[in-house]
Amino acid sequence: MQETHTWRTFLSSIISNPKEKQRIAAELGVKIITLTRWVSGESDPRPHNLRLLLNVLPAQREQLLDLIREEKGFEEFSDAVQDDTSKDISAEFYTKLFTTRTSTRANLYYWSICRAILESALERLDPNKVGLSAWVVRCMPPSGPQHKVRSLRESVGIGTPPWGANLDQQAMFLSAESLAGNVITLYRPAIIEDLDEEHNLLPAAHAEYEKSCAICPILYAGRIAGVFLVSSTQYNYFLPHSRSGLVQSYADLLALAFEPEDFYEPEDIALCIMPAQREQKEYFAPFRQMATTILREASRNNAPVHNEVADMQVWQLLEEKLIQVAANK
């Protein structure tokens, strides 16, 4: 009688090679006997280990994932990784983006380019509106005694429910203890498929509704301007290569929104600790009032400034204040 072909029998054939069996166990951080129990059905891998298993078997990943989806009891894992995204950014979008790039006024350029890219990203990454947020997180200008980039700020953000369509007014600081800060420091992407399960291994608590996230650095000529941060309400949402690949592609496009001087060398960055965002909220409450005060004072001194300049001055004032608050704890 022919044996049913399942992910367990498929894995069994892979680990029939003792060296491969030892390698997989070592990379998963489990005992060799654990792999044997998985293939026999004596035990089931935790979702975290199942995700790692897919990652350590890149050549067999798609076939293994298809077989996992077929097994009863793995519906939650399987449903979360079903791939309904378009694999490529359309040629029409590139045409639209470059038209925006050439026709937009300088003071609206950054926001317009970011917004166009984020809208395209949400359309392709969340076509079924299961819940996604996308942020451009950028480096604050160098400051402090050592004149370093000391924090990151959420800059342009949009979402699908339960997040709002326009998240800009909720922007706050991220820094050394954040996931984005970790990506900035290491200069490499990070994909977290289960923030609840892996929270003890991460540098910071995650946001409300957020179950998984993908973060890619925004790079130009070996320097970094910030990160593209995408969060989902679903576990394992970025497991398909098409989704994680799209996040990287959009991060590459976002480099077009920045000026060359907005990118920093690794030695220019020394992120500080910041209070948690729930603590930051009280300091951000009077943001608009502070910006209005700056605009009025500049006008009285016959040195009017643009709204963007006033906003940046408020960001810099709040950055200094919050760094001191965190340092004095």
Tell me which architecture the domain covering 91-268 has in CATH: 2-Layer Sandwich (3.30)
How far, in Å, CA of 117 to CA of 185, rounded? 24
pLDDT on residue 152 = 97
Q: Report the sign of the C-alpha dihedral through residues 206, 209, 213, 219, in that order.
A: negative
Strand-pairing partners, residue 223, are: 220
Give the predicted TM-score (pTM) of the model.
Answer: 0.77
pLDDT for 200:
47
Identify the bridge partners of residue 264 per DSSP, sorted by sequence position: 224
pLDDT digits over 182-214, tens only? 999 999 999 888 887 755 455 555 677 898 899
pLDDT at position 140, please?
98
Please name the residue that has the structure tokens 């050592």: 146
Confidence at residue 116, expressed as pLDDT on a 0 to 100 scale? 96
Give how far Cα 224 sits from Cα of 22, 97, 186, Å: 38, 21, 11
Ranges in the chain, pLDDT < 50: 1-2, 79-80, 200
- The CA distances from residue 100 to 75, 97, 213, 263, in Å, are 43, 5, 28, 22
Integer CA distances (angstroms), 148 to 142, 226, 227, in order: 4, 14, 17
Among 74, 73, 72, 5, smallest CA distance to 39 is for 5
- Tokens representing residue 159 in the block: 């979402």
pLDDT of residue 1: 38
Per-position DSSP letters for 1-57, written without gaps between them: -PPP--HHHHHHHHTTSHHHHHHHHHHHT--HHHHHHHHHTSS---HHHHHHHHHH-
- The reported pLDDT for the residue numbered 205 is 57
